[in-house]
Amino acid sequence: VQLFSADREVKGLIFDMDSTLYENPDYAADQLDSQIRVLALRWQRNVDTLRKEVYRRQAEWTSSHGGRKPSFGNLLLDSYGISIEESVKLREEAIEPERWLGRDEKLVSVFQRIRPDIEKVLLTNNPSSIARRSLRILGVDNFFSKVVGLDTTLVSKPHAKAFIMALDKLGVGPQYVLSIGDRWEVDIEPALALGMGGILVESIEDTYCLADFLAKS
Ligand SMILES: [Mg+2]
């Protein structure tokens, strides 16, 4: 775990979902691949050819953006002209958290130990319906007062607007907020730029320690 300006009075937390509240590399990969499969059907293209093309374009995007990896939504937008609204529908059609996730008692106990007066918002590049379903499956839905999804923001993290909307839902200033996620460039860096602190989790084991970190801060 890596902490960034995390030593502060905390009134609100912004959580990432994927690879932060659960760890499932096969599901993470399938979230992208299931979208490619739906697009291949829709465009009547061979799925293997399309998959190779998408990954080639992703590599091209990365090398033309100083080594940064695009969010999948931004890649579809830049390379295929798929609007964010269309991405929302595509994801709702393709992604099936029920197939991949289950209740996580360890995660539930972490949330039971984080002070209830600290507001928690989930901020995800997936549609909020997918996020709510995932939170319910994991068993932590009742801890999140708000979910801010791609359908709310219409921009993908790391766009600042996504974080500003999440802050709005928390209703407190950035100086009282920590952003918690597994990707520095997507979850942490843009939050720090707005004056929040950050906790970079490197595995689900880090997430299981969050209640202890927050109790110390
Ligand atoms: Mg993530």
Chunked mean pLDDT (size 10), the chain, 217 residues: 93 97 96 97 98 96 90 91 96 97 98 96 97 98 96 93 97 98 96 98 97 83
Determine phi and psi for 5, rounding to 5 degrees.
45, 40
Of 126, 118, 64, 36, nearest to 89 by C-alpha is 126
Q: What is the C-alpha to C-alpha distance for residues 110 and 118, in angstroms, rounded to an integer?
A: 13
Q: What is the C-alpha to C-alpha distance for residues 149 and 40, in angstroms, rounded to an integer?
A: 25
Q: What pLDDT shows up at residue 33?
A: 97
Task: Give residue 44 CA to ligand 1 midpoint distance, Å.
Answer: 31
Task: Give residue 79 CA to ligand 1 midpoint distance, Å.
Answer: 22
Please answer whether residues 87 and 34 qualify as being in contact, where contact means their C-beta atoms are separated by less than 8 angstroms. no
User: What is the 8-class DSSP label of residue 150?
Assistant: H
- Strand duo 177-181 + 146-148: pairing: unpaired
Task: Give residue 27 CA to ligand 1 midpoint distance, Å.
Answer: 12
Q: What is the C-alpha to C-alpha distance for residues 4 and 148, in angstroms, rounded to an integer?
A: 23
Of 150, 84, 91, nearest to 123 by C-alpha is 150
Q: What pLDDT shows up at residue 216?
A: 74
Task: Give residue 17 CA to ligand 1 midpoint distance, Å.
Answer: 6
Q: Output the six-digit token pair for 118.
A: 């600290």
Q: What angle do CA 123, 131, 212 make, to 5 degrees?
A: 60
- Strand duo 197-200 + 2-4: pairing: antiparallel
Would residue 171 be called left, alpha or beta, if left means φ above 0 and alpha means ψ between -120 and 50 degrees?
left
Q: What pLDDT shows up at residue 197?
A: 98
Of 201, 209, 208, nearest to 2 by C-alpha is 201
Task: Give residue 199 CA to ligand 1 midpoint distance, Å.
Answer: 12
Task: Give residue 203 CA to ligand 1 midpoint distance, Å.
Answer: 11
H or E element, residue 95: none
Q: What pLDDT shows up at residue 81?
A: 96
Q: What is the C-alpha to C-alpha distance for residues 34 and 198, in angstroms, rounded to an integer?
A: 31
Q: What pLDDT shows up at residue 217?
A: 60
Q: Output the six-digit token pair for 129.
A: 């319906």
Please answer whether residues 168 and 190 qualify as being in contact, where contact means their C-beta atoms are separated by less than 8 angstroms. no
Task: Give residue 15 CA to ligand 1 midpoint distance, Å.
Answer: 9
Q: What is the C-alpha to C-alpha distance for residues 169 and 153, in angstroms, rounded to an integer?
A: 12
Mapped onto helix, strand or coil, the DSSP state of residue 13 is: strand
Task: Give residue 71 CA to ligand 1 midpoint distance, Å.
Answer: 10
Q: What pLDDT shows up at residue 74?
A: 87
